[in-house]
Amino acid sequence: MGEEYLPSKERKQASLRLCNVSSSMTELLELKAENPSLHVLLIPGNPGVVQFYKEFVEAVYEMLGGCASVTAIGHISHTRKNWESGRLFSLEDQIDHKVAFINQEVQNTEIPLFLVGHSIGSYISLEIFRRLPEQVKYCIGLYPFLSLNKESFKQKVIGKIAASQILCPVLSSIVAVLGLFPSCFSRFLVRRSVGKSWSTTAVEAFCGHLLQYHTMRNILFMAMTEFEKLAQQPDWMFLREKKDQIAFLFGIDDHWGPLSMFEEISKQVENVALSIEKEGHTHAFSCTEAGSVWVADHVVGLIKPQLQVKAGKPKDTEI
């Protein structure tokens, strides 16, 4: 890691924009550079609510000196408003959606595109890379969910709930009822439960987006299709082929991206860029400002050497 990052008091704020992608209303959180030398596209985990990544997007933009356009794209129907009238979207639907967005919005192919995926977003990023190899310069997976963890009790429970045609509507209805209470009450509940150390931004994102029936149904439906797809092993051949354009960051105690997967990747794909975060941040790194800043610093440390390579300078492999 480099020098300690101190956020500017006048840090530029990311703005929220609605965009129609393949007839689906899409939330984008973005900071645009006037003359960008690169474009960083963040693919979120599940839930795919871009507001969770506000501090991360702003930190990446500032650390890159404002020379990069940074965009976080939300998943379809992981939104406050029920734009899709209750329709459910699978993992494959979300992948197609991101590819369509790039084809629609990222049209200047001379500007290198860096994909940054979090959790299942890492898998989505790799699938985008597979489909658009000429457009993607580099792919970074943060706390990546690439294959089912058979040792995880939490994943077994989530998998059973997501696959149940009874439990999914019931759980979604309970969540929706909580969303009917005054916002101060829902914030109190989040602070007392899952969000004890979360930033105000993350708490607001949770209360404003997740406590909706259509959102929770889509989170669970997407999870069900993730579990079906990720029962398979990663595509080792593709990872070996693109190993110089891929990097992964794992956490110490993360059942979604366990260290057993770190070890398996290191065996299957020699010399791929692998790192372990040991600072005490969690899988939900973007829910705290400290986690957002640390991971942003790590990501920028991976991006900058790739820009040096493009400029014809020696490749710096030190992070």
Which pLDDT score, from 0 to 100, does residue 190 have?
Answer: 93
| HSE-CB of 135 using CA atoms within 13 angstroms | 23
Question: Hey, what amino acid is at 184?
Answer: C
Which pLDDT score, from 0 to 100, does residue 309 have?
Answer: 60
Q: What is the mean pLDDT of each run of 10 residues along the chain (319 residues)?
A: 55 94 96 95 98 98 96 97 96 98 88 97 98 96 97 96 97 95 92 92 95 97 98 97 98 96 97 96 97 98 85 42
Which pLDDT score, from 0 to 100, does residue 108 have?
Answer: 77
Sequential DSSP letters for 14-45: PEEEEEEETTEEEEEEEE--SS-SEEEEEE--
CATH number of the domain at 15-151+233-308, out of 3.40.50.1820, 3.30.465.10, 1.10.10.350, 3.40.50.300? 3.40.50.1820
Query: What residue segments make up the domains of the chain, in order of their start?
Result: 15-151+233-308
Which pLDDT score, from 0 to 100, does residue 312 have?
Answer: 52
Is the overall model pTM greater than 0.95, yes or no?
Answer: no
